[in-house]
């Protein structure tokens, strides 16, 4: 099913059915999923899904040597060992990668985490994989992974969710709503790029913890003719300027809405499940993950880790996440 057109090395394309209906209505027409594989094609497959900014490229490897989002965790001899597993990952529908997504200014249907999961099953079928050894998802990827497991439980041996619960939290949803409204204000005003940077800056403030920000941005403000300049503001400006190099407003809105809409019945997830929550996570408070844990029929382990990185613990706590992944795959 891979496309015959020329693509960057390591990227493969899977065409979705010509009309791919979406759970909240509407459909994708002629959609495709960009994906990447590492490890032996005949080894058990582990699907790895990260946050909205992550995609098909999980970690550096021989064919695609650029850094990924989980270098140090996925590779030969690492926690997800690519000598013993085939690792499969894809770009989000609607996101900033190479899967089907809105262009600048283009309307796009509402993509649910369940739609991402259905698209993944289509990819798994196209690769003629019978079942998944494991699906490991962090943040938005954890939400999608829950749907993957719920949709075809007989084909998933293990589910691991990091920093993800069974529903979005009203506090986080409130922050995301402000982000979307900012972007929409900017689009109306013809200043979508500045608005997108602002929305991303707000998102960044919710990914870490107050303690980490206090430690890093202790210094008093610089004063110049233009006023007071605070170190934390400089950080937000630099990071969000970087973001808008890679994303457009519509892609941001699409995945932001998709996170808010996430809601799954825990009892529908009958696959053996491992959970990891970060104490300090402002977006997915551990209390939410505890509630998920209590309702999961096949809970295998539920770990909580205190992290100064909060929600970003899935990216910034490789030692603890690595130990968790080894436990899942052992």
Longest dimension (CA), the chain: 65
The Cα 197–Cα 244 span in angstroms is 6
The Cα 265–Cα 245 span in angstroms is 37
Assess whether 311 carries a catalytic annotation.
yes
Within its chain, how far is the Cα of 278 from the centroid? 16
Catalytic residue among 53, 79, 139, 258: 139
Query: Nearest 5°: phi and psi at 282?
Result: -85, -20
- The minimum distance between CB 171 and a copy of itself, in angstroms, equals 4
- The minimum distance between CB 184 and a copy of itself, in angstroms, equals 10
**Residues at the contact surface with a copy of itself, assessed by CB under 8 A:** 24, 110, 169-171, 173-175, 177-178, 181-182, 185-186, 188-191, 194-195, 198, 201-202, 204-205, 209-211, 213-214, 216-218, 220-221, 227-228, 230-233, 236, 257, 260-261, 263, 282, 285, 287-288
Nearer to a copy of itself, 212 or 327 (CB): 212
Nearer to a copy of itself, 232 or 270 (CB): 232
Give me Rg for the CA atoms of the chain.
Answer: 19
Catalytic residue among 91, 112, 281, 312: 281
- The minimum distance between CB 230 and a copy of itself, in angstroms, equals 6
Assess whether 61 carries a catalytic annotation.
no
Assess whether 139 carries a catalytic annotation.
yes
* Cβ pair 144, 137 in contact under 8 A: yes
330 to each of 61, 129, 138, how far by Cα in Å? 23, 21, 19
The Cα 242–Cα 263 span in angstroms is 31
The Cα 329–Cα 324 span in angstroms is 9
Nearer to a copy of itself, 32 or 201 (CB): 201
Nearer to a copy of itself, 124 or 199 (CB): 199
- The minimum distance between CB 177 and a copy of itself, in angstroms, equals 5
Catalytically annotated residues: 139, 281, 311
């Amino acid at each position: 099913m891979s496309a015959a057109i020329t693509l960057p090395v390591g990227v493969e394309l899977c065409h979705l059915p010509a009309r791919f209906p979406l759970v909240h209505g509407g459909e994708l027409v002629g959609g495709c999923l960009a994906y990447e594989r590492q490890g032996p094609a005949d080894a058990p497959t582990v699907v790895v899904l990260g946050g909205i900014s992550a995609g098909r490229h999980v970690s550096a490897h021989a064919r695609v040597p650029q850094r990924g989002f989980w270098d140090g965790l996925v590779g030969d001899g690492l926690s997800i060992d690519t000598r013993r597993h085939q690792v499969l990952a894809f770009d989000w529908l609607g996101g900033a990668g190479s899967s089907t997504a809105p262009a600048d200014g283009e309307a796009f249907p509402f993509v649910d985490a369940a739609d991402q999961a259905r698209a993944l099953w289509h990819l798994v079928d196209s690769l003629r994989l019978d079942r998944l050894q494991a699906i490991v998802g962090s943040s938005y990827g954890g939400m999608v992974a829950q749907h993957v497991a719920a949709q075809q439980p007989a084909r998933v041996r293990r589910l691991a969710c990091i920093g993800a619960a069974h529903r979005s939290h009203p506090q986080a949803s409130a922050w995301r709503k402000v982000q979307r409204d900012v972007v929409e204000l900017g689009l109306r005003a013809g200043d979508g790029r500045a608005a997108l940077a602002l929305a991303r800056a707000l998102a960044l403030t919710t990914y870490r913890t107050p303690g980490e920000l206090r430690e890093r941005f202790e210094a008093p403000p610089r004063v110049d003719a233009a006023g007071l300049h605070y170190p934390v503001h400089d950080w937000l400006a630099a990071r969000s300027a970087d973001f808008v190099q890679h994303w457009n407003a519509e892609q941001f809105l699409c995945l932001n809405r998709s996170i808010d809409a996430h809601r799954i019945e825990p009892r529908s997830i009958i696959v053996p499940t491992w959970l990891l929550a970060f104490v300090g996570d402002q977006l997915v408070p551990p209390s939410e993950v505890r509630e998920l844990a209590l309702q999961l029929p096949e809970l295998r382990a539920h770990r909580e880790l205190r992290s100064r990185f909060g929600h970003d613990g899935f990216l910034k706590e490789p030692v603890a996440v690595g130990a968790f992944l080894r436990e899942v795959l052992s």
